[in-house]
A and B are shown apart, each in its own frame.
Chain A
Amino acid sequence: MNRRDALSRVALILGGTIIGAEAFLSGCKNTSHPKSLADAFSLDNIAFLDEVGETILPTTASSPGAKDAKIGEFMKTIVTDCYEPKDQNTFVEGIGKLNDASKAKFSKDFMDLSAQQKHDLLVDLDKEAKDYNKKRKEGDPNHYFAMMKQLTVWGYFTSEPGATKALRYVPVPGRYEGCIPYKKGDKAWAL
């Protein structure tokens, strides 16, 4: 079983909501991009997505956050190259929806929120996406926030800052040892 399969299976056991994007689980399949896609990934919107990613996976004492991993650029690449057109639309519309949710909750644009407000908003949206997925029927669209979160988690932990600082990245292990001690707090292997 290869890494892709193994991780997909773990995701399934955990309810299918944890790892990567749909693209990661099924391979990229789309054939055309909606016209609005170029607009959706303006520099402003990439900064917006960086901020969304940073709120999901922020800088902590032990490692940098998703903004350091250029997560907005990563989302642009995957959504553009690998998403089905209907998922692309969901994602693009989601940028506006997230901002609307910010205005509804705090009467401010998302980019103008404090870090704590951003966090609180995304906790709400995460719950909304999970509740949506529980009731989701075959053929229903994906939830935009589930996509953003999956892309953030996938992109961050495979980025240089994520793999080398939030995980232990050893490109050339040199040997294999079957049983070594592990204590809570030790970082997991990146590969």
Chain B
Amino acid sequence: MGDTLHINSGGVAQNSYDAIVIGSGISGGWAAKELCEHGLKTLVLERGKDVVHLKDYPTATKNPWDFPHRADAFPVEFAKENPVVSKCYAFSEASQHFFVKDNEHPYIQEKPFDWIRGYQVGGKSLLWARQTQRWSKFDFEGPARDGFGDWPIRYDDLAPWYSHVELFAGISGNKDGVETLPDGEFLPPWEMNCPEKEMQQKIMAGFTNRYVVQGRCAHLTQPKEIHIQQGRNQCQARSLCERGCPFGGYFSSNASTLPWAQKTGNLTIRPHSVVHSIIYDEQKGKATGVRVIDAETKKSTDFFAKIIFVNAACLNSNLILLNSTSKRFPNGLGNDHDVLGKYMAFHNYRGTLFASYDGPQDKYYYGRRPTQPMMPNFRNVYKQETDFLRGYMTFYSVFRSRTYPTEGEQIGGAYKDAMGEAGDWYVSMMMQGETVPKATNHVRLSPDKKDAWGIPQLVTSIDYDDNDVKLLKDFLTHGSEMLEKAGCKNISQNDSKQAPGLDIHEMGGIRMGKDPKTSMLNGWNQLHACKNVFVTDGSSMHSTSTQNPSLTYMALTARAANYAAEQLKKGSPL
């Protein structure tokens, strides 16, 4: 398909740009911003609808009682028709318009995989959980130490780019000086509540080399000049983020990078543009453009550019490369060795703990905070010490429930008034475990099933293994110990057994790597075998670490985009 130029209605010149970015989510938005700032005429292709900051947040200021089911439950047939998306924690009556419904984009689960998607300008940057830790040197060194790979870069390569994206996006956090969780360019941190502080002290006093720090998140606790220039305001602590924020209080492509790119005059955003494939020119030995199918008319159009950034989100980026076949690359663009689609990994979120806490009855908190205390990984950090590889990040939060009387008459005025008061304190704790990428965890194209746009459906074949189960058990054991040490009671352990995917941290398939024989991308996120194509979203990850990944996607993207722009300026062959 990709080896012949397609005649298109607009003609080559009219459809030509300096750069094409596929996808407008967190990483696509960053690619667009950096490339446009370098003066490159940039086309952003988005398969979903347009979502304009402020204008297209229809539920942003609604009250619970404005929703028929109070945004707590789903309408009738909905859950049955949407078994995947209705499992997502962020999905509700209030945010459902930003999620892909199951039947809108079918895929084949060879093994259960909950694929959560947001098809619109801004992608999942409207819906993300906004926790933004830097990865530590241990995270980048892990695969080589443990013998399952090797990142082509290290922490020091990325550190200046972390700073670059943090300053613009606005990251709140405390400078904690913890080796396993490098400090960044922070806005003031969110406060811990009283019981969280008490627990922090007890855990850190009770265990060596375990740190409890306040979470770092992409919320403007105190906007700086650069954020005011973006038209964004201080986070109002509403915690209704996944509806889109009318204050621009958290970082999204819609509130931040895309309007910034727009201001340069170099940006064109084309919604409803489903990417079919990347066009490879056999003579030139490089990619020349992107074939797009209009989501609504299903008409095919080709667009051309000198460089192409693939930021369609992990699985769809894999799908696009797998579907970009040519004489040179019969098995997908850049796939000389059958690595494409393989070494998929994700985060293990199965373990949660719940407990009660004898917190102060004369203390409360005000506002709804978008983060919580976190504990950087303390397992296998300096050396291998368990019967499983890698480790996990731990999060906990303490909240004060309303009063629920359990004695006396539970009917009538006294009962009602009692329930209007604050009650006991409860703790929830969760894990974010690293999973080890394996060739067997993969995605591939269905040989016969296609979607509504004539593109092969994706087959997901991704599962947990023994290592994940051991790591889960370790978290439940150590988490319980820490809760006990911190004075918690009624500790209950839970294994959700949730399928991979529900973590929405799927990574890999187009992985970076030191060795071109076992990886798709080099240290600049360029395809080894087709250097003018850059992939900088989650699909490029060589390992998952125990940290939330989005900040790293941003930093990798900004770094790669600046590199690409500089190479173009220098006239270096790409």
Q: Which residues of A contact B (CB under 8 A)?
A: 1-2, 4-7, 9-10, 13-15, 18-21, 23-24, 27-31, 55-60, 62-63, 65, 77-78, 80-82, 119, 122-123, 126, 149, 153-160, 163, 166-167, 169-191
Contact B192 A178 (CB under 8 A): yes
Please give, as numbers and ranges, the residues of chain A lying within 8 Å of B192 by CB-CB distance: 178
Please give, as numbers and ranges, the residues of chain B lying within 8 Å of A5 by CB-CB distance: 89, 428
B34: interface (CB < 8 Å)? no
Contact A4 B367 (CB under 8 A): no
- Choose among A1, A13, A19 the residue with the greatest number of B CB atoms under 10 Å from its CB: A1
Contact B404 A14 (CB under 8 A): yes
Q: How far is the CA of A119 from the CA of B410 in the complex (A)?
A: 10
With beta carbons under 8 angstroms apart, the residue of A20, A23, A63, A173 that contacts B420 is A63
Contact B412 A58 (CB under 8 A): yes
B364: interface (CB < 8 Å)? yes
With beta carbons under 8 angstroms apart, the residue of A6, A60, A170, A173 that contacts B426 is A6
B39: interface (CB < 8 Å)? no
Q: How far is the CA of A57 from the CA of B400 in the complex (A)?
A: 22
Please give, as numbers and ranges, the residues of chain A lying within 8 Å of B362 by CB-CB distance: 181-183
User: What is the size, in residues, of chain B's interface with A at 8 Å between Cβ atoms?
Assistant: 68
A28-B73 contact given A6-B399, A18-B404, A191-B368, CB 8 Å threshold: yes
Q: Given A60-B417, A82-B73, list of 9 further CB < 8 A pairs?
A: A10-B401, A28-B73, A29-B79, A60-B413, A119-B411, A122-B411, A167-B420, A170-B366, A179-B363
Contact A81 B191 (CB under 8 A): no
A-B contact pairs, 26 of them (CB 8 A): A1-B428, A2-B90, A13-B490, A58-B413, A62-B417, A63-B420, A77-B68, A80-B76, A81-B75, A123-B409, A123-B412, A166-B416, A171-B63, A173-B236, A173-B238, A174-B234, A174-B236, A175-B236, A177-B366, A178-B194, A179-B197, A179-B365, A181-B363, A182-B422, A183-B362, A187-B421
- The 8 A CB mask of B351-370 against A (1 = contact, 0 = none) is 01010100001111111110
Contact B422 A188 (CB under 8 A): yes
8 Å CB contacts to A: which residues of B10-68?
61, 63-65, 68
With beta carbons under 8 angstroms apart, the residue of A59, A126, A160 that contacts B65 is A160
CB distance from B425 to the nearest CB of A (A): 11
With beta carbons under 8 angstroms apart, the residue of A4, A9, A81, A119 that contacts B76 is A81
CB distance from B275 to the nearest CB of A (A): 33
Contact B352 A1 (CB under 8 A): yes
Contact A13 B73 (CB under 8 A): no
With beta carbons under 8 angstroms apart, the residue of B74, B193, B356, B402 that contacts A13 is B356
Please give, as numbers and ranges, the residues of chain B lying within 8 Å of A31 by CB-CB distance: 76-77, 80
- Choose among B86, B191, B411, B430 the residue with the greatest number of A CB atoms under 10 Å from its CB: B411
Contact A55 B411 (CB under 8 A): yes
Contact B65 A82 (CB under 8 A): no
Contact B416 A63 (CB under 8 A): yes
Q: How far is the CA of A126 from the CA of B407 in the complex (A)?
A: 12
Contact A176 B369 (CB under 8 A): yes
B452: interface (CB < 8 Å)? no
- The 8 A CB mask of B188-206 against A (1 = contact, 0 = none) is 0011111011000000000
With beta carbons under 8 angstroms apart, the residue of B61, B367, B406 that contacts A176 is B367
Please give, as numbers and ranges, the residues of chain B lying within 8 Å of A158 by CB-CB distance: 64-65, 70, 72
- The 8 A CB mask of B389-403 against A (1 = contact, 0 = none) is 000000001011111
B423: interface (CB < 8 Å)? yes
A82-B421 contact given A176-B367, A180-B365, CB 8 Å threshold: no
Q: How far is the CA of A80 from the CA of B73 in the complex (A)?
A: 12
Q: How far is the CA of A157 from the CA of B429 in the complex (A)?
A: 27
Contact B411 A4 (CB under 8 A): no
Contact A60 B416 (CB under 8 A): yes
A177-B367 contact given A60-B417, A78-B69, CB 8 Å threshold: yes
- Choose among B196, B368, B404, B420 the residue with the greatest number of A CB atoms under 10 Å from its CB: B420
Please give, as numbers and ranges, the residues of chain B lying within 8 Å of A180 by CB-CB distance: 363-366
Residue of A nearest to B219 (CB): A176
8 Å CB contacts to A: which residues of B65-122?
65, 68-70, 72-80, 86, 89-90
Q: How far is the CA of A176 from the CA of B415 in the complex (A)?
A: 30
Please give, as numbers and ranges, the residues of chain B lying within 8 Å of A62 by CB-CB distance: 417, 420
Q: How far is the CA of A177 from the CA of B366 in the complex (A)?
A: 5
B5: interface (CB < 8 Å)? no
Please give, as numbers and ranges, the residues of chain A lying within 8 Å of B422 by CB-CB distance: 182, 186, 188-189
- 6 pairs of A and B residues whose beta carbons are closest in the complex: A173-B367, A178-B191, A176-B367, A182-B364, A60-B413, A1-B428
